[in-house]
Structures are given as C-alpha cells and as structure tokens.
Chains A and B, each alone.
Chain A
C-alpha cells in the first residue's frame, strides 16, 4: 500500500494502518482468516481475505473501503472469521446475528472509525477516470484541487449518525426531494423508466448482506411462480417490490444494492422510505440489538392490537 500504488494520500488514516494490521494479526489467533481491504492499482480499495500475518501486511483502510463485507458472513457460518467493519457494516452483522445467520461468538469484529466513504464513481463521472483523488478523511483534493468533501461522499454516509460531521438523518437519498415533489403519475413514470434499464443481473441481491437465500431466491424460481423471467420494466418492478418487502424491518440501510447496480437504479429511495415507516410504526431499526425480533417476523398475540379487540 502507500501513495506509490494508489492515488490516495493516507497519512491521516483512522485508525493508523499499523494498528489495524496488528488487530488483524491478533484476530488470526482464532480466526481462520480476516475479511478486510487491500489496495488496488485502480486507486480504490478492494475486499480481501487475510490468512496470516504476511498477508495482513497488505491491509488498508481508507475512504474507498465502501463495501459491506458482512455480505460474506452467512456463507462462512461454519468458520471462525475476523471482519473489519465500519459502523454500518456492524449493523448488518448484528441483524444477521438476530436472524441467526451469524454466530457472534465466531466473528471477530475489528471496528474501524469511518470518516465517510467518498463516492469514487461520481467523482470519476464528473472529473474523468484519470482524475487524481487525494483524501485524508477530512479534506479532499480532486485533480490536485481542493474539493468540498461532504459533496463527494456517498449518500448513506451523509446521513450517518456515527460519523463526525454526519447529518444524522439516515435515508437522506439524493433523489428524495425530487421524487417526493412529483405527482403520482410522474412517480409511476420515474420508476418505469428506471426499471426499464434493469438487466436482471441480481447484483442488488448479491451485494445485500440480508439476501442470504442466494440460489433459492424467489426471484429466480418458477415454483411458486411469483415472478416471470422476462427482462422488462414490469418484471423488474415486481422483483424489486418483492426484494424490498423481504427486507422490511431487516435492512440496515448500507446502500450496497444501489451501489452495486450497474445501471444506476435508485434502489435506496424505496428502501429508505420503508425503513423510515417501520421505525415510525414499530420504533424498530434493524441491526441495533441482536436479541430483537424484527416486527414483521414476530407473531404476537399479546399487544396493543390484540387488546383493542
């Protein structure tokens, strides 16, 4: 790692990368491997697995470590593993634990303070692929010019409550204001247009830590035949509505689905709204308490609704 390979200036990393490495090595005492990030030639960090102290030398943590590594955990149920996790990733892990997909005893959590991840994709879109990006977690320089960091961090980080300078308003999707100013007819057209680009690559599902049904997913089965195989707006909409429903009360809002979408469908616009409603109705946020039961996954015969009858 270092400035030589990437285009990132990492002197102000939190935690210092040496500390991170020693934590990884410490976790390897028990863990078979540790999930973390390594630097790549493109400049953006990539997920990696560290099996030993030697490999751990390549570990990095910077503001391009946007991936939610918790997505791998349900597949590693039978192993003891370590994981480097930002606070949003940790919420996914907690939610997975609540659903018994993760045994917290077997996961060695290495928590890192996150300065807010920068949105490499949008910077490249605006400044061209070759533009240099330098970020130390507080100040950002794009193409050697000073840039307003808050403008270039990913949407979910803007509303993050666990980050210094975070707005504390989760679900603050960039398109939210625009979308809710539309009429119902316009909204219909908005979604139809977005869904028409869906290529059914299922990247949204694969990137989602909570979508652990994987190859038995209802989106691909024809028995029961809830959804057809066609690549068109209607099927894509059905697919997303099912997905959103399945995440009700379970989504921690990590935003990986939208980030993974190769055609740029604003999936978090839907999810954020659902998360907001669920918090409002049930006072429940996913990924806070591993003992909690998601409101839509509990069958209570006692409670307010029952008493009213």
Chain B
C-alpha cells in the first residue's frame, strides 16, 4: 500500500493558522510514500502535482487535507481518476472549516490538523475501491400545483418532450393569478395573459392535467418516485361535462364563492369561474341539498350530458415519476384572529386585497363595478393598510410579503380609474419597490392618481354611521390621523398554502416555521430541495411576485429536464451493504430505514436475510447503527474505517 498525503495551504486561508509543513509530517506514517504541501490544491497545477505524484511514486491511495469535501471532493475524485486510481481511493480531510477557520492559535490548529491528517491516513488504509452503478430513470415529471408557477414548469418540461402530470387540488388550474384583475407595473390584464397558458397546458399532448386531485403518498427516490394520486369525488364526470353551467343556474343550494375569495355567493354545484380550465362543474357535498337532506337531484335532472354521478368515489392511481416539481403556492394570511383592532373580520367593509381584486375584476361578483360588500354602495374614500400579517413581529409574521407595496399602488390606481371621484389613502411602513419599473409605478399612484401615502400603522378601525373610522399615526408629521372610510383594504401577507407542511413530510423535504418549503441553498441551489429530484417553483418557497415565480418555475423545469435528460442516473456507491452470511434476519434495519431500502431475501438454508437495494439507499447509515451484530456497513464509511480513525487519534 502506497499512500500520498497532500496538504493544501488554500493561499493563506489554511496556511495562516496551520503550519502545513508540519501537517504534511503525516508523511512519516506507515504506508505513506509521499507528502507535500500545495498552495492551491484545487488549481490546475495543484491537481497536476497530485496526478504526477501518483504516477511517479506509484501511489495507490491519496489523502488530501484541504477544505470541506462539500467544496472539492468531486474535483479531487476526478483528479485521482485521471491518474488511474479508483475515485474512492481519495479521501479528504477538512483542515480549513474544521481547523484554520475556527481556531486562532497556530499551535493548537496545527496539532489538530496533524491529528486529522493522520486519521485520514488511517481511514484511507482501510478504504476499498467502490464502483457506482447506473439505474434507469422514469421519464415523466410530476408537477404539484396548477398556479402560474406550476403551469410554467409543466409547459417548459412538456415542451422539452417529457410527459408531465400536473396535479391541482382545486377544481381549476390558474391559482391565485387567475383571481387577479391587473398585474403591476404594466397593468396587463391578469387573466388575459394567464388564460392562454392555462389553455395551452390543458391541450398540450405531453401534459396530463388532474384537477381536484392531491398527492396521497410518495415512495421511491430521485429518478424513480412512485406516487399515489387521489382524485377526489366531485360527483361530476369530467369527460361528459361540457361546462354549460345549467346545473349551476338551477342549483337551489347556495355556497360560498371560493374563487371570488368569499365575496359574493356561488352554488353547491358550480363552474369555478368562466375561464376555468378544465371548464367542468364540481359539486361541493357539504353545501349540496342532495347530500344534506338526501333528496334534490336538480342538477342531475337538468344536465343534458348525463355528467352528474352522486355515487362517485375518490379514485387513487399510482404513477411513476423521475422528478417532482412542487408549486403549491401561497394563500393570503388569515388576519382575522391576529388583528382584533381591525374588527377581526366583523366589519363587512374591511376586506383583503385579494377580495378587492375580485371587486375590481370584470369577471368578479360585481362585474367590475366597485361596490362595497355591506350595502353595495360605491365607495368614495378607500383606505389601504399595508403589512397586515407581514413585517409584524407582534403577530409572529416578521417577513416581508414582497408584493404588498406594489399591489396597493396598483389597486389605488385602479380605484381612481374605476371611480374618478374617489380618494385613496395608503398606510405604509416602507415602500419596497425593488423591481424593474416598480418605483416609477408607486410614484405614479401618488402623483398621477392622487393616492395619499401616510407612513404609519393603523391602530384601530371602528364603524360609525355606516362608515369606518380608521385611526392611525402619520409618523412623518407625528400627527394622529383619522379617516372616514367607505372601504378598508388590508394588504394581507403571504402564508404557505394549507397543508404545505404535510405535503413536505410526504415528500421528505424540509420546510420552515411558516411552512414555506426550504431550498437546498439560498444562493447556489435556490430551486433544489435537499431531497434529490424534488424541485421548488413559486411562492411555496417564500413570498414572490409573478415574474419571480415564473422564473423559478422555468429554473425548476430546467433542473428536472437536465436530471432526466440522460435517461439514467449514476447511483452513489456509498451505500449500506449487508454481510449476508452473518445476517441473523432480525430486520431491525428494515424497521429503521427511512427509505424502504431493505428487502428480505431467502438464504439457501431457507432463513431470511436482509439485503440493501442500492438504488433506494441514501447511505444515511441508520441501519448500520441499528444492526446488532454489526453486519451492515456503509461503504466508504465502514465501522473498521471509523475504528481505525479513532485508534489513530488515541495513539
């Protein structure tokens, strides 16, 4: 055995705190036939030096003491491969993050670096050549969520030639963007730009659209996920329904209008909105007379195409996917409990911006004429309050919703356009208008549309003679302000879609305290999750505007396409392995394995032994620990390697 030791100086990153020459003295250890220090080991000449040393000194194993293996393990594995070694015959020791960067005393740091390097030598002595294998991938992508991000991702992936299944929980795709009237800062009609994309997604040959559907369970791993999708019973046969809406017209049961964010009413059976995709009615059992009282049947009678089936049941289908894009979006923060001073939902004329959006929209319940909910009067004085459930530590929502300032400006402009004699007041904390054309837009709202911006929070809203008294502070003038408003619009912050955390647990991806899903790295891996093959798009990851969501969706699509483009995946050879001749068949490994990667095989004498399915194993090592006779080891991190390392440290 001929081991080479290379100690990196990393410029002064390591060399300033660690005496690298001394650390290279690990060269005096048994089996070490070469040791040197290199200024930048990852540089081209650095790698060259390793390769040359391997060839000249006929080294068979290499220890590189440098930075974290997260940085350059791949670099050095490739380098030793070029020199003709098995890539796993190289082991890295981290003397930068674990040593020079965390210690200030040269002697201590050097001592630790020597120990770590010697341990690396002890480890690599017990290393075995490892070989990765290739597994075929399923060329199909699951997109969860049919909002603008989901649609964008699905279309990008489908256009690249990969089949996509888009699962949407609601009755139509389109998400929150379909609810918006206009978009900032161009005042494009939201549905005018979105509906063509919705239709395209519906008609795309490569996209299988599943509405009223949810992900039940997820098994498998990157390249080969197995997903149970539950299509909820809506009592309407999707293929037969023509979307004529006659059922909706005749239905006697009223129901809240979810698409219109609760302003206005709908029926128990309804098409969610005129541009819904697919344009299919769905029945909500909890509001339906047929289900509540057991008799009605009006919709079934009037439906000309026989699309109503009260007996319909949930259907669960299982499909395989190579990658998953999660685009579950957001919902407006439910402000009612946290803001009793704003009426806590008691006053009908205190509404959220999404509800106001529906009042502004021509497809909304008022046909685009702004009428306040309480009495249908046209409001003259409209007060907008920003940051309700955003940037507010006192209600546990410290983060910025990133779009409130912009849509308030938009809604103030639209209010003036709808009702020229109206006056808008905006209570704001700061105006955050960082995007292209955003700052100009908020200025326009003030200068051209006369919106009065007041910097401060609103303390209280109370009703008085059919109006709402809004009491706040203008912190710039230091004066108390009281405005008699006809309508108050709250810029409710972003909340993760309901059930986001539960879905994340099914997918085995992490999420933060607000149930926004976590990206793998905020800068360098912004659309990846920590679980291979699962990507994030849009506001499920955090508050985002439409361009941000669309951009991230395209990025997630590119990642999914890239992942599946080769048709097969190289598996890490650092997986667990069972020494089957010594396995007692107690299957404690199977009990603890989080990836279902242990299967039972029958030995020739008939007794059951455990086997690791390489393609499912993530190499987490839990089974390694659980195995009582220690016959499971993790390749590349075997017990013997760890013991050797420890003994070296204790020596």
Contacts and interface: CB of A to CB of B under 8 A. Distances in A.
B638 A297 contact: no
A221 B640 CA distance: 12
Given A224-B643, A226-B643, A299-B594, A213 B508 contact: no
A301 interface: yes
Interface residues of A, number: 21
Interface stretch (B403-411, B460-468, B626-634): B626-634
A225 B640 contact: yes
A218 B630 contact: yes
Interface in B584-631: 584, 586-588, 591-594, 622, 626, 628-631
Nearest to B640: A224
B505 interface: yes
Contacts of B591: 293, 297-299
A223 B639 CA distance: 9
Interface in B424-469: none
Contact of B638 (A99, A224, A301): A224
Given A218-B630, A225-B640, A99 B586 contact: yes
Interface of A: 99-101, 212-214, 216-218, 221, 223-226, 246, 293, 297-299, 301-302
B587 A216 contact: no
A301 B505 contact: yes
B505 to A, nearest CB: 7
A298 B622 CA distance: 10
Contact of B628 (A218, A299, A301, A302): A218
Contacts of B508: 301
B631 A216 contact: yes
A241 to B, nearest CB: 14
B134 interface: no
| Interface SS of chain A | loop
B622 A100 contact: no
23 contacts: A99-B586, A100-B586, A101-B586, A212-B584, A212-B586, A213-B586, A213-B629, A216-B584, A216-B631, A221-B582, A221-B629, A224-B638, A224-B640, A225-B639, A225-B643, A226-B630, A226-B639, A246-B628, A297-B588, A297-B592, A299-B592, A301-B505, A301-B594
A221 B505 CA distance: 39
Contacts of B633: 224
A210 B370 CA distance: 75
Contacts of B631: 216
A216 B587 CA distance: 15
Contacts of B626: 297
Contacts of B583: 216
B630 A224 contact: yes
* 8 closest cross-chain pairs (CB), A and B: A224-B639, A299-B592, A216-B582, A213-B629, A216-B629, A218-B630, A224-B640, A213-B584
B633 to A, nearest CB: 7
Contacts of A225: 639-640, 643
A212 to B, nearest CB: 7
A235 to B, nearest CB: 14
B603 to A, nearest CB: 13
Given A99-B586, A213-B628, 8 more contacts: A216-B583, A216-B629, A218-B629, A224-B640, A297-B591, A299-B591, A299-B622, A302-B505
B506 to A, nearest CB: 11
A216 B609 CA distance: 13
Contacts of B629: 213, 216-218, 221
Contacts of B587: 100
A223 B640 contact: yes
Most chain A beta carbons < 10 A, residue from B587, B628, B630: B628
B594 A99 contact: no
A214 to B, nearest CB: 8
Most chain A beta carbons < 10 A, residue from B583, B584, B593, B639: B584
Nearest to A223: B640
Contacts of A293: 591
A125 B282 CA distance: 85
B593 A299 contact: yes
